Amino acid sequence: MKRIALLASILMIVSCQKEEKGYSIIADAAGFEDGTEVYINAISQSNRPVVIDTAIIKQEKFQITLPFSESYDFNYLTFKNMGGNVLYLAENNPIKITIYKDSLRSSIIKGGAENELFFDYIKTLRAYGDEKMKLNTKYQIASKLNETEKTVKIVTEIEELNAREKEYRIGIAEKNVNSLVGIIALADLVNMKILTPKDAKEKYDLLNDTLKNTRIGKDLNARISSALAQSMQKRIDVGSEATDFSAPTPDGKTLSLKESMGKVTIIDFWASWCKPCRMENPNVVRVYNKYHDKGLNIIGVSLDKKQEAWVKAIADDNLSWNHVSNLQFWQEPIARAYGVRSIPATFILDEKGNVIAKNLRGPALENKISELLGEAL
């Protein structure tokens, strides 16, 4: 029995090792001198580069094995005493790279479905860009020669090319909702304002949770939320339909207003550094504990800047409901979307998501919740 147990343990260890074996890079480095140091860089959640390993070029080649990557993000190679970099996706598959010292941009990366899709995407966009440059050059020449018919024709060609490129970008985003390349394409569409904030939000919601929780996914969500806020032409007031939103929770997941709704829902804008908010929190806790079983839900939206302070305040004040924040202080996109200019601020919603009261505190808050849900059990 001991031998069987030992064998099972060994097999389990081997199995785990196989699941997280990492990936290798094999590179040809044309034009590089022997001894040139290569740095493998990752990008942290705070968007800062971090050197995770190094290699040495010998006879215009180098090879390195890297640990299993959990970041689902870009890595890139840099070289000692040299500018520029070589970008690739760390997807835990063997990667073959051909690097040209005199033209890093022309480097060839092969290995893994994500890398193949990403570099096909980049190659196609470059082709569109090159074609646009040619057409723009033709337009400038025709314009200087006063060739009106020709300029009109070229403008039409440019418009058709732009339409094809737009369709291509949207197609990549829609057909690759489980791929990092899909979220990159969606981010491009948002940055170029090809999609409306509302359309971008609808497409973002189709992404899986793994993608939403990547560095790129979180950044895209913040951009979409900010764009939605900027698109709001009026403050959300009593009688308005509450705008849906989603943002990171304290544990890094993504949560939406829609997912947090109850029979009655309070959107509570606050922050750990806000003394009036902290003074009001015991009253909100009491109301929540009294009426939660009758259908009261709360989603707290923090205007904090630091994760640690936010999480500590939630624990210290016993705020046991849902919480989200982009940690952007007064630039918090959800607060901007709701026209919040001071905190604490509250919006009370009915089960259909309509705002039925706002900015109630103390006894006024409890009286309103009692009116909506009746006496507590």
What is the tens place of the pLDDT at every residue in 182-220?
999 999 998 888 888 888 888 888 888 888 888 888 888
> CB–CB of 211/185 below 8 Å?
no
pLDDT of 174 strictly over 60 = yes
Quickly state the pLDDT bin for 14 (edges 50, 70, 90): very low
| Residue whose tokens read 């440059």 | 133
Residues 6+ apart with CB under 8 A from 19: none
Quickly state the pLDDT bin for 280 (edges 50, 70, 90): very high
DSSP string, 171-192: HHHHHTTTSHHHHHHHHHHHHT
Quickly state the pLDDT bin for 20 (edges 50, 70, 90): low
Query: Greater confidence, 249 or 214?
Result: 249
DSSP string, 265-280: EEEEEE-TT-HHHHHH
Residues 6+ apart with CB under 8 A from 229: 333, 334, 336, 337
pLDDT of 66 strictly over 90 = no
- What pLDDT score was predicted for residue 190? 87
- What pLDDT score was predicted for residue 375? 64
| CA gap 125, 131 in Å, rounded | 10
> CB–CB of 337/345 below 8 Å?
no
Quickly state the pLDDT bin for 2 (edges 50, 70, 90): very low
- What pLDDT score was predicted for residue 71? 67
Question: Cis ω on the peptide bond leading into residue 344 (within 30° of 0)?
Answer: yes
Q: Which stretches within 79-214 are classed as H helix?
A: 113-144, 148-175, 180-191, 197-204, 209-212
Running DSSP on this structure, what letter comes out for residue 244? P
pLDDT of 23 strictly over 90 = no
> Domains in the chain, ordered, with CATH?
21-110 (2.60.40.180), 116-227 (no CATH), 235-373 (3.40.30.10)
Provide the sign of the torsion angle of the four alpha carbons 64, 70, 74, 80, taken in this order: negative
Count the Cβ atoms, other than its own, within 10 Å of residue 355. Answer: 19
Tell me what the pLDDT averaged over the chain comes to: 87
Q: pTM value?
A: 0.57
